Amino acid sequence: MTPEKQYRGIYGNASYNASHKRLTLGGLLEEMDRQDKLGSVIIDAGSGPIYHAPEYPDQPPQERRAVYYPTKDRKIIRVDADAPQTHRIEEGMLTVQASVDEWNPSSRRGRTLTAKVRQYLQMPRTSRSQKIADAVLFCDSLNYMDFRKALANADAHLRADGRIVIQNTAGKTLAKGLLHEKGPQTYHDVTNWLQRNGYELEHVQHAWHIRPFGYLEHDLLPHDPAIIVARKK
């Protein structure tokens, strides 16, 4: 059986939905939550669509919201290029219409988006800090953007000791023509960027396995589906 068939056999063809994300990242994020390592503000980078209850009456509420992480007592910022607009979906969640690799805090549009997020987070007007998040999640999204710009923009919005959490399979796509030419070619591209830019690797594992937080797997193949957690030093 090829790796692709094995992957689809485990997770199915619709492998970018909330159910798939929960299977690969949910347990780890819940463990990080129990260890108080997620913080109170999460950016979900490339979050995917939110489905409305009338259209999907049988779908669990969490999956309609495309949520695969603990949300209690948190502020969630969902960033997706296909979002209709920047608006508040419901209490505790804001959707930002943007691609993370284009959400540059130094650009005019980037400053506008950040201002809306700061308002949503009720940050003091006297503060101009761009550091708004305790964790940034990338789940099956880095292949579709300039991943170096995306990680740099995430870093610009991440507070000290914050974490970037990634689940990605380099080169994987279910729709031809969507891969970005500057997406990661191997998971090493991602870990190398993080380490060169002031991050400590706290967790690396094959996405099909169940590992306790803090596990560092050293025998991953370059194109294996990888889960990576890195802390900003």
pLDDT number for residue 129:
77
**pLDDT higher than 80, residue 147:** yes
Residue 64 has pLDDT above 80, yes or no: no
Q: Structural domains in the chain?
A: 3-232 (3.40.50.150)
How much is the pLDDT for 68? 86
What mean pLDDT, rounded, does the chain reach? Answer: 85
Residue 204's pLDDT is what?
A: 98
Q: Give the per-residue pLDDT at 158.
A: 97
Is residue 7 pLDDT above 50, yes or no? no
Confidence of residue 90 (pLDDT cuts 50, 70, 90): low
Query: What pLDDT band is residue 88 in, cutting at 50, 70 and 90?
Result: low
pLDDT at 3 over 60: no
Q: What is the 3 state secondary structure string of the chain?
A: CCHHHHHHHHHCCCCCCHHHHHHHHHHHHHHHHHCCCCCCEEEEECCCCCCCCCCCCCCCHHHHCCCCCCCCCCEEEEEECCCCCCEEEECCEEEEECCHHHCCCCCHHHHHHHHHHHHHCCCCCCCCCCCCEEEEEEECCHHHCCHHHHHHHHHHHEEEEEEEEEEECCCCCCCCCCCCCCCCCCHHHHHHHHHHCCEEEEEEEECCCCCCCCCECCCCCCCCCEEEEEEEC
pTM reported for the whole predicted model:
0.88
Answer whether 21's CB lies under 8 Å from 68's CB: yes
Q: Is pLDDT at 149 greater than 60 in this prediction?
A: yes
Measure the CA dihedral 12/16/18/24, to 10°: 70
For the ranges 121-125, 168-172, 201-205, which has the lowest average pLDDT?
121-125
Tokens coding 21: 């994300």
Residue range 129-141: mean pLDDT, rounded? 93
pLDDT of the residue at 58: 56
**pLDDT in the model for residue 55:** 47
34-43, 94-103, 159-168, range with the lowest pLDDT = 94-103
